[in-house]
Structure 1
């Protein structure tokens, strides 16, 4: 199994880390200013489709960067109570990306989903010249909307629907371009599969929104359009796929992936897949990318993932008094200012030993 190249890791760091982080050392050991334009300025380190996109569509690359950061934030939210909490510590994060574990599968999927979301949203907002709202195509009528009643005698597709097909294509071009065309090693097949699973988590869950038109609240005409799901919904779906991720191995033909275990169903396009078991992430280990859980805040009364028993890996926890300032006694003054006082808050927190 081949690890991602240094150039691939470098691209991932440029895409994922926030724009205000300066001087990070990425996989090739070069300090970069982490802003969207850095992707194209440093693209000489890479080649192929990425360089072409930078030359012909730099504004798309800017949205790709936003989408990758959106994916990282969602990863940190979804894993906030887990032993590995999607930390953006670059030295450790790079080690995670070099492994074919379930956590890496989620990172790739949520990043691909973030890219399609950002590009599609930019189209709908009129921020890109290459696209706008969805091109209306002939479709079957949507389901009747609540409250329309029998008066809903006509409908039409309209509004500003999200052109998810354009966002899907740009996400595919950019994310999948990291893999060499025609390669069929296990790592490449797994990464491409998880990229697609992330895109489908958004594309296959578009929702229909409708609005009634007519006098006196009547609904003589209904206008409907397609909208993307909220990205938190996409993250929730991918977390479910993460929890049910399927371990795979290479098939005999060297071009397919088969599940490990005779009773395991073959993965479909929306499943997340991996080929190596994850470390337990209990202790710091730079080799595996684990920061450990010592000092992490936990819930001493919970029995789930965020509970001290699981998060602290059986080492126990200690209680610590924390004092901080927060806004309180806020009042609205016409017009239009909210003034708050600062209150001192004392709180007991549980920290892993």
Structure 2
């Protein structure tokens, strides 16, 4: 059975008061409809909608990618990055840590999808990067990547991921309509967009391929690759854990830490200005769906533990019967024969 496809309505294209994600294959975005809804916009956004429809399709894929990763990263938390329309809409209207993560992972997803399409040759507007790339964070392209055979000859080649194009188009599409605003929510949104992009840009990797007789590696060809999107999600979740609360500065055009004793957040950090609800009980105002009926792990002391997930309300334990392969044996050649065993499993569900 196919997994449910998670999609997202582009919160960047809708008014701030009408932003939401939704799930189900029926709501996968049609780029033509997105641009039709915003046909009166001007500037780079309007140009992309009119002239770069292939790019808009990749942006849509990137938002879906971000939504799927968000659901994975928060699957064992009280707030599980739900794609329930009304709930996500309320979350995105606020400015909590959760909102910051959604904005960051969405920007990262858009950057990743566009860059990947460039490498695959799916976009007319770009291609992969060839030749000697510009320096990336933590590496110097003048010197070969460190290996045990660093004395061997090497050269830049292959097809490096064109992350510069992905970053540029992500900024143009996601940020352009907010550039003239300076309210605290907009400043935080733009900061978190950039933090999501940096989770890709600052973690590019060097990949190499050896050439030579019998694997002698007399010549190495090297190129740049993006991290996997799961790695990007992991890094942004870590930033979520250490997110900094900020307030508007006196100049009205910037922000600063809520407390003077707190270090000023860097470009890679996720920031927010409102405290999160506890998400224990349903609340239409905050978008909380509550945790009643959620599964928990009685043996865990983490966020998926029953005390945490159930907000100390208690849980009910049920036993279910499952079947699985067991007593598997390898039969020469070449077959694996298994028996089918009945297994009982206990499940804890929050009250």
Q: Deviations over 1:248-273 (max 9, x none)?
A: 00000001100011110111100110
Change (3 A) 1:324 1:87: farther
Partner of 2:82: 87
Q: Does 1:109 align with 2:104?
A: yes
Residues 18 and 34 of structure 1 are in contact (CA less than 8 Å); yes or no, is this contact kept in structure 2? no
Q: For the residues of structure 1 that align with 2:344 and 2:175, how far apart are their CA atoms? A: 49
Residues 206 and 227 of structure 1 are in contact (CA less than 8 Å); yes or no, is this contact kept in structure 2? yes
Matches within 5 A, 1:288-299: 288-299=286-297
Q: For the residues of structure 1 that align with 2:208 and 2:262, how far apart are their CA atoms? A: 41
Q: For the residues of structure 2 that align with 1:331 and 1:177, how far apart are their CA atoms? A: 61
Q: Does 1:50 align with 2:45?
A: yes
Deviation at 1:156, TM superposition (A): 1.1
Deviation at 1:314, TM superposition (A): 0.6
Q: Deviations over 1:79-127 (max 9, x none)?
A: 1111100000010100000111000000000000001100000111111
Q: Deviations over 1:29-84 (max 9, x none)?
A: xxxx6444432233337555433211010110100010111111111111111110
Matches within 5 A, 1:148-187: 148=149, 150=151, 152=152, 154-179=153-178, 181-187=179-185
Partner of 2:4: none
How many residues align? The count is 332
Partner of 1:312: 310
Q: For the residues of structure 2 that align with 1:19 and 1:296, how far apart are their CA atoms? A: 21
Greater displacement, 253-262 / 134-143: 134-143
Unmatched 5+ residue regions in structure 1? 23-32, 333-337
Partner of 1:96: 91
Residues 18 and 35 of structure 1 are in contact (CA less than 8 Å); yes or no, is this contact kept in structure 2? no
Q: For the residues of structure 1 that align with 2:107 and 2:253, how far apart are their CA atoms? A: 23
Matches within 5 A, 1:337-348: 346-348=344-346
Deviation at 1:19, TM superposition (A): 6.4
Q: For the residues of structure 1 that align with 2:338 and 2:128, how far apart are their CA atoms? A: 42
Q: For the residues of structure 2 that align with 1:10 and 1:127, how far apart are their CA atoms? A: 34
Q: Among residues 62, 70, 75, which one is paired with 2:65 in the alignment?
A: 70
Q: For the residues of structure 1 that align with 2:262 and 2:299, how far apart are their CA atoms? A: 35
Matches within 5 A, 1:189-204: 189-204=187-202
Q: Does 1:20 align with 2:18?
A: no
Q: Does 1:137 align with 2:135?
A: no
Change (3 A) 1:5 1:35: closer
Change (3 A) 1:145 1:301: same
Secondary structure at the aligned position of 1:88 is classed as: coil
Q: Among residues 263, 271, 274, which one is paired with 1:273 in the alignment?
A: 271
Q: Deviations over 1:318-337 (max 9, x none)?
A: 102335677889999xxxxx
Q: Does 1:321 align with 2:328?
A: no
Q: Deviations over 1:280-337 (max 9, x none)?
A: 00000111010000000000111111100001001011102335677889999xxxxx
Greater displacement, 181-190 / 214-223: 214-223
Secondary structure at the aligned position of 2:180 is classed as: coil
Residues 130 and 159 of structure 2 are in contact (CA less than 8 Å); yes or no, is this contact kept in structure 1? no
